[in-house]
Chains A and B, each alone.
Chain A
Amino acid sequence: MNRRQFIKFGAAGLFVAGGLGWLGKHFAKVDVIAGQSVVQPQHLPMLRALARGFLDNALPAAKQTEAIETAVNAFVTATKTLSASAQSELGQLLNILENPVGRRLIANLGNTWEEADTEQVQSFLISFRDHPIPALQPGYHALHDLMMAGWYGLPAQWAGMGYPGPPFRVS
């Protein structure tokens, strides 16, 4: 990190440190209800933007909107079987990122998720991953792992990677 980045991130870091109390107050623990996902309808535009940012070149050229919807659905499915405490934390993270103030505090994304283009989403991802406050960085990894696990768990992706799938179907 050079000096300029340090000042920029350092300042952002202090801001976030001060903001964490505010975040904690407004985005308290999310209750996990049996059989329901912590992903709420208001999170979906954000998850679509994140899917575009994460997968980008992995998405098919044709029917991209449908592919993004598929990726988001796979993400949501993957969240449902996480431990209750992990689901609760994820719900809190999604609430923070979906909120304009939270989003700006975490990684300085000024646009709404619908407005953000792929490049902006990707620079958000990098800032989030490399956040000067180490305690915030796992949030990036949670999104990464769920998005990648969801997408590449879909049999439609396997042929493109030279994976034939299971040797036979168990019936």
Chain B
Amino acid sequence: MTEQTIKPAGALANNLLVPNPFATGIANGWKAYEAHSRELPKQIAADVVIVGTGAGGGITAEICARAGLKVLLIEEGPLKTSKDFKMVESEAYPTLYQESAGRKTADKAINILQGRAVGGSTTVNWTSSFRTPADTLAFWQSQFGLKDMTVEAMAPWFEQAERRLNIADWPVPPNENNDILRRGAEAKGISWGAIRRNVKDCWNLGYCGMGCPTNAKQSMLVSTIPTALEHGAELIASLRAHSFKISQGRIRTLRCQVMNPDGVLPSGKEVEVIAKHFVLAGGAINSPAVLLRSNASDPHDHLGERTFLHPVIISAAMMEQEVRADAGAPQTIYSDHYLHTDPIDGPMGFKLEAPPLHPVIFASTLPGFAKKHADIMRNFSKTHMQLALLRDGFNSGSVGGQVRLNSDGSPVLDYKLTPAIWEAARRALVAMAELQHAAGAQSTLPVHEHAAPANNIDDALRQINSLEMKALAMKVVSAHVMGGCAMAGEEKLGVTRPDGRHWQIENLSIHDGSLFPTSIGANPQLSIYGLSNKLSQQLVAELTGQAATALA
């Protein structure tokens, strides 16, 4: 590769080419601002207060605001928009992710990528859009009393969300990183599919994970939140929902802390919020944490438990050709073959996908140091990577983690990597190495502290079978946090009712991924959109006595 071809293409004023709804909206009177940018009143009141502006909060905000309710959105992260999205990891991760993209489980064995900005994880996700799989819904019906959650009953809610967010087939050919997954699956004769994406006029850049600089991704930041603001909602960013004051089964107030501009510590200023109804949509880990800090009633000890991660196991492959996994739509091909080889409650199944690679995430994920690490880094542009997302929460050996509070009140997830997970991890490494060698990999490398590149499938399998499966040696990451406030048809089985209302607190709903009683078995954004759509329309009907306007 020559100097010429690897030079950036030069400056581009994206604010001229790409309309920024926030810039014009704020100029026209939208109430959207950073908490630290002005003096706030001691108390703010609204009809509905929504904590969190991700997939659940965004959908809820649009539906409530369009119904004429006075909506207040509270977001712990900053308000950043397309003009701030510079496609640079060292700026994006500290600003747009929970804990600077370094959130970890209690034993530090799993690194968790979760968004923290207006739009939540939808601002930084990789646009993969799947409806909740039929077998997951069937499991919820039979195990958690969620009788109404059939494929047919959920379909209209998903259809609306898909129309609203432009979720559709992606017509552009996959980038090489994804195409290797496709070719490997073809060569091994296993099923694969194309991933639908929530984009409009996408430039196929590959930087979805750092905030979309062209507003093509139909995240909450450019879709539902602008609509809510247009209908008079108020959005306060850099404001942390700390705890509810609850008495006699009702939330009386919500205590909020103004964050410093760097997002690390609260500034010391506080605001009290009152509302007729509260919707917690801070995402798994954070939503249970608000309730833990509030000493919320939890008679059956379910709060924060069964928090799932889709633990991700990684296999790298060194190819002869350029792969350039940094460029092009990040995730466009998947295989669910290994989700269907066993019963859903049998040995854990896994979904295969190919992730985008950029220098910081690649370098920090890659084990080892010095020559071993540097050699692989030099080969970055020829590296293909596959992920196996393990479907946790269905097998009796996979019960998820428990959200706890640190001494400073911040949340931490205690998630044990159990033998059932390690058994699946080894199978996943085998599956990925087979696909990668079948697609012509020169060598494959399980992302494990003690692994070395293997030059053929026999060596690869020998190595995988001898690797010690243990925390921190075998790299495990997660980008999907689910559960912890599970909905269930019976009070003793969960935290929330099937309509998203808290079993013990009458003016509280939960609308986010923490509702899921298991993991999803697919990237969860559309599951959250569809479910929040259903729950929000029910909520509006209850609060206003009028049917809600459909999402789309």
Contacts and interface: CB of A to CB of B under 8 A. Distances in A.
Nearest to B6: A164
Interface in B332-391: 358-360, 362-364, 366, 369-371, 373-375, 377-382
Q: For chain A, what secondary structure do more than half of its interface residues adopt (helix, strand, loop), or is it mixed?
A: helix
Interface in A113-165: 122, 125, 129, 134, 137-138, 141-142, 144-145, 148-149, 151-154, 157-165
- Most chain A CB neighbours (cut-off 10 Å) among B5, B364, B410: B364
A170 B86 contact: yes
B371 A162 contact: no
Nearest to A88: B408
B301 interface: no
B99 interface: yes
Contacts of B13: 171
Contact of A168 (B10, B99, B358): B10
A149 B363 contact: yes
A80 B262 contact: yes
Contacts of B322: 162
Interface stretch (A12-20, A50-58, A61-69, A102-110): A50-58
Given A56-B374, A84-B265, A162-B6, A149 B381 contact: no
B157 interface: no
A148 B11 contact: no
A141 B359 contact: no
A85 interface: yes
Given A85-B408, A167-B9, A169-B12, A57 B374 contact: yes
Nearest to A158: B359
A170 B408 contact: no
Interface residues of B, number: 72
Contacts of B95: 81
A161 B12 contact: no
A159 B377 CA distance: 11
Given A56-B369, A138-B108, A34 B264 contact: yes
A140 B362 CA distance: 18
Given A83-B99, A84-B410, A170-B85, A160 B12 contact: no
Interface of B: 1, 3, 5-15, 82-83, 85-90, 94-95, 98-100, 102-104, 107-109, 111, 205, 207, 213, 260, 262-265, 267, 322, 324, 326-327, 358-360, 362-364, 366, 369-371, 373-375, 377-382, 406, 408, 410, 412, 449, 471-472
Contacts of A152: 359-360, 362-364, 377
A84 B374 contact: no
B369 A53 contact: yes
Contact of B359 (A53, A77, A122, A161): A161
B99 A82 contact: yes
Interface string A24-53: 000000001011000000000000000001
Contacts of B371: 56-57
A17 B411 CA distance: 27
